[in-house]
């Protein structure tokens, strides 16, 4: 019978997971410090303490590492937003405000998420298509909250709302908007509601687990 070798109190799978996490964390730090171009296999290994021979156990190349780091940040943000929406609906609070508050709070807790998602991804060949997919996922979530997830008017309004929110947050984190976090949340919540098309609301089921996966296209979930 084959036994699992324990080294340093961890199994091989645990060590592999730890190395992958350390490489992703290193990539996030490098992107914040010097942009996507600063992420190389050598730099990530030096920062993470993971030797080069283990790098390729997890990533085909540096582009794969950059993509994984971005998708990790998207997943964290999506989980935070979906959790906030679910809690708001359960407590009969405003889901739009809860979602926007979650965005702002997540970016304040970890500015790396804001830098990578709002700034670096727009200029990166590797990240641009992933950013488009992430924006589509958030747009579907908002359109579902508007009550008509597949309706063209709801998709247009949701695209407008999500794109506007991203631009506002980009400028705010860059320091070009002299507003407090609460002021940003108040203004963006008002604009989200104002953008809602005047179409009858449709029943919306609970948020599915699939919405929690990075880059997933969420199906109907109420935000408004």
Domain boundaries in the chain?
12-59, 70-212
Is 212 or 65 the better-scoring residue by pLDDT? Answer: 65
**Residue 223 to residue 60: CA distance in whole angstroms:** 38
pLDDT tens-digit profile of 78-134? 898 999 999 999 999 999 999 999 989 988 888 888 888 888 888 889 999 999 999
If one counts every other C-beta atom within 10 angstroms of the C-beta of residue 92, the result is 7
The CATH architecture one would assign to domain 12-59 is: Orthogonal Bundle (1.10)
Length of the chain, in residues: 224
Residues 6+ apart with CB under 8 A from 84: 95, 98, 99, 101, 102
Among the listed ranges 26-40, 112-126, 190-204, which one has the minimum average pLDDT value? 190-204
**Which residues partner with 7 through β-bridges?**
10
- Average pLDDT for residues 147-175, to the nearest whole number? 89
Q: Find out whether 80 and 214 touch, Cβ atoms under 8 Å.
A: no
Domain 70-212 listed as CATH 2.60.40: no
**Residue 62 to residue 39: CA distance in whole angstroms:** 7
Helices 62-90 and 128-145, packing angle to 10 deg: 10
Q: Three-state DSSP class for 8?
A: coil
- Average pLDDT for residues 34-55, to the nearest whole number? 93
What pTM was estimated for this model as a whole? Answer: 0.77
Is 200 or 158 the better-scoring residue by pLDDT? Answer: 158
Q: Three-state DSSP class for 199?
A: coil
Q: What is the DSSP letter of 65?
A: H
Residue 117 has a pLDDT of: 84
pLDDT tens-digit profile of 161-173? 999 999 999 999 8
């Amino acid at each position: 019978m084959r036994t699992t070798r324990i080294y340093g109190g961890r199994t091989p799978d645990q060590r592999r997971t730890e190395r992958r996490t350390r490489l992703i964390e290193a990539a996030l730090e490098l992107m914040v410090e010097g942009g996507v171009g600063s992420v190389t296999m050598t730099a990530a290994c030096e920062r993470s303490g993971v030797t080069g021979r283990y790098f390729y156990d997890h990533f085909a190349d540096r582009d794969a590492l950059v993509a994984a780091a971005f998708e990790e940040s998207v997943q964290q943000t999506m989980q935070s937003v979906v959790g906030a929406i679910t809690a708001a609906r359960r407590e009969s609070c405003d889901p739009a405000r809860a979602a926007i508050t979650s965005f702002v709070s997540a970016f304040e807790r970890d500015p790396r998420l804001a830098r990578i998602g709002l700034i670096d991804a727009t200029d990166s060949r590797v990240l641009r298509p992933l950013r488009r997919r992430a924006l589509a996922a958030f747009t579907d979530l908002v359109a579902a909250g508007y009550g008509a997830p597949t309706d063209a008017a709801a998709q247009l309004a949701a695209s407008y709302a999500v794109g506007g929110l991203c631009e506002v947050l980009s400028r705010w984190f860059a320091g070009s908007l002299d507003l407090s976090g609460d002021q940003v949340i108040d203004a963006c919540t008002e604009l989200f509601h104002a953008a809602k098309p005047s179409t009858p609301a449709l029943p919306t089921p609970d948020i599915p687990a699939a919405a929690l996966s990075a880059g997933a296209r969420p199906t109907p979930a109420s935000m408004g």
